[in-house]
Every structure is written in C-alpha cells, then in structure tokens.
Chains A and B, each alone.
Chain A
C-alpha cells in the first residue's frame, strides 16, 4: 500500500484573500475627525437676575437679518469679509482712561494696539460682542459670522502671543494660554434671542 502523505494546503492565495479584506476595510473606514466651532451656551438665567447695565460704547452690535445682510453697530452695512477686522479693531481699542477703569479694578490696556478712541470699547475685558440674528437667517451666514467673530479674537491672541512669547497662541503652554484667555483677550460673545 502506498503511503499517502497528507497534502499540504496551498497557502498561495492567502495573500489575495487578505488583500480583499484589506481593501474592503480601507474603503469603509472613515477617519473623519469631527471638527467644528465650539461654543458654550449661557446658563439658564435666574428669573430675578437683573442684567448689568452696559455702556453702549462697550458693545459691538452685529445684526443679521433674514436676507443675510449684516448690520454693525446699528448703522453700517458690512460685508462678511470686513467683519473680522472691524471686530478686532473694536476689541483692541483700549480707550478707557486710568481713573475710569480703576473703578472697575482694571488698569489701562497696555497691550492694546488700537486707536484709543474714547467712543469705542474701554478695555478688552469690557468689550462685548453682541450677535443678533433673525429666525430666517441662513445657517451658513450664521456660522460665517460666528467664525469671523471668533477669528477676530484668535487674531488678537496670536498677535499678543507673538509679541510676548514669539510664537502662536496654540503653541503656548496651557498656563500661558489660560492667562491670555482670562486676562488679556477674554472671548465675550453674547447672543441675543433672534428676531421673529
């Protein structure tokens, strides 16, 4: 009787099978890193809460109507491309005088590069950007406006970080970032209820 050796399984096509699976997973895989504009909603207001009285010069009002037109400070129609610069100019104005700011435990903004216009914001910590949109505004415009306003802060923070530490804001240490976020250019964007 001839002894049969057990035949070896041909493993040559193993690579093909593996390739097939590999290609399947390559195609189905989505390395979608979710990105987006992060915002924090205000907490639910206390019914007895009295909103603080703000000086009008410290508020940068942005209105977006249902035709997606942007009105700034109640009088200037603006293109979205110009919004960032205008917002940065407002935040960085630093027009407050020492004695006025001392009442609110602030000192004159020494890092502000703005015009020091007394009719514009006193201090970056006082400067408030108020955004009001209409219910009919398109989301695209809304995001673009938000983006530009956040961008104005980013630009200013970067400028400050470059002057002081010689690198961009995002490359600073956590501690340095915290100081800038809190005391130098805090991001104050307030959203009003949209008009109907």
Chain B
C-alpha cells in the first residue's frame, strides 16, 4: 500500500469551541437587562385598556406605580395596591412622600405616577387617586395602557 494514500475528504467539522463564548455573551446580555418584578400583585392582574395616543415612560427609576383592580378573592369594590400591599386612598400621600424621599431634590418634579388600572374599575376610584395626588403636588401622571385601538375597549 502506498504511503500516500489519498485521504478521504469529508466535510470538515465546524469548530464549536467558541460556541460557549457566544452563548455566554447572550446570557450576560439577558442577565443584565432582565428585571425581576419587584412587587407581587395582591390584586387581580389589571387588564389594561388600549389606546393609541401613547407615550413611552422614559426613566423607569422616576416612575412609581399605583395598581387599581379587583381583589383576588372576589370582594366587591376597587382595590388599590401601593408597593406590595392593598391600601386605601388615604395612604397615597405617604406613598408619594416615601417615593420622593428616595430621590434627590432635583428629580422630584420629574417623578411620574403611573396608574395601572383595570378596564372595569370605576372612574370614581381614579378620581379619588387623582385628588390625593394633586394634594401632594404629584402632578405628572400616566394612565398605563397597551397599544391598540381605543375603540376595542368598549366591546368588553
């Protein structure tokens, strides 16, 4: 047999040695961008209304959230959740003050309150919240909505 037997050539295997590196890179990206939900919802997850005249909330750190919806155990009436417990309208003032205390003086006028309210809550509840917010001069608010046609809201 000749020493120079022609080697049979197959497809060369792709070198996968750098695959872990690529995966790690993606992994780190998602680890950094992921935000774990800080607050557990104590109320039923609000089904947000849809609207198309929406703006993005830019700075997450400047936003405080008020959840409004129905309670999980079916007690009637609209429930308000601040941080991680169900509260009453009167607690909103202290909630805003505690949110403010964690920000610097200059950021206070930029603080936005996002109201995440369910489709079926009453406007009265929202108005009560707004009056409380106005009393403590937290004037920037945002009605959290999904993107979509506002006309769809009515059919539910």
A contact set with B: CB distance below 8 Å: 11, 14-15, 18-19, 21-22, 25-26, 28-31, 33-44, 64, 68, 80-81, 133-144, 146-148, 150-151, 154, 193-194
In the bound complex, CA of A114 to CA of B37 (Å): 49
Q: Is the interface of B mostly helix, strand, loop or mixed?
A: mixed
In the complex, whether B146 has a CB less than 8 A from a CB of chain A is yes
A14 proximity list for chain B (CB < 8 A): 20
In the bound complex, CA of A150 to CA of B134 (Å): 21
A98: min CB distance to chain B, Å: 33
In the bound complex, CA of A74 to CA of B139 (Å): 29
In the bound complex, CA of A25 to CA of B31 (Å): 6
Q: B123, B146, B154: which contacts A134 (Cβ < 8 A)? A: B123
A141 and B153 contact, Cβ closer than 8 Å, known pairs A34-B63, A39-B141: yes
> Are B121 and A139 touching (Cβ within 8 A)?
yes
In the bound complex, CA of A195 to CA of B133 (Å): 19
In the complex, whether B24 has a CB less than 8 A from a CB of chain A is yes
> Are A22 and B141 touching (Cβ within 8 A)?
no
In the bound complex, CA of A136 to CA of B126 (Å): 11
B24 proximity list for chain A (CB < 8 A): 18
In the bound complex, CA of A148 to CA of B144 (Å): 16
A44 proximity list for chain B (CB < 8 A): 134-135, 137
* Chain B: CB-nearest residue to A150: B53
B residues 75-109 near A (Cβ < 8 Å) are none
In the bound complex, CA of A139 to CA of B153 (Å): 9
B13 proximity list for chain A (CB < 8 A): none
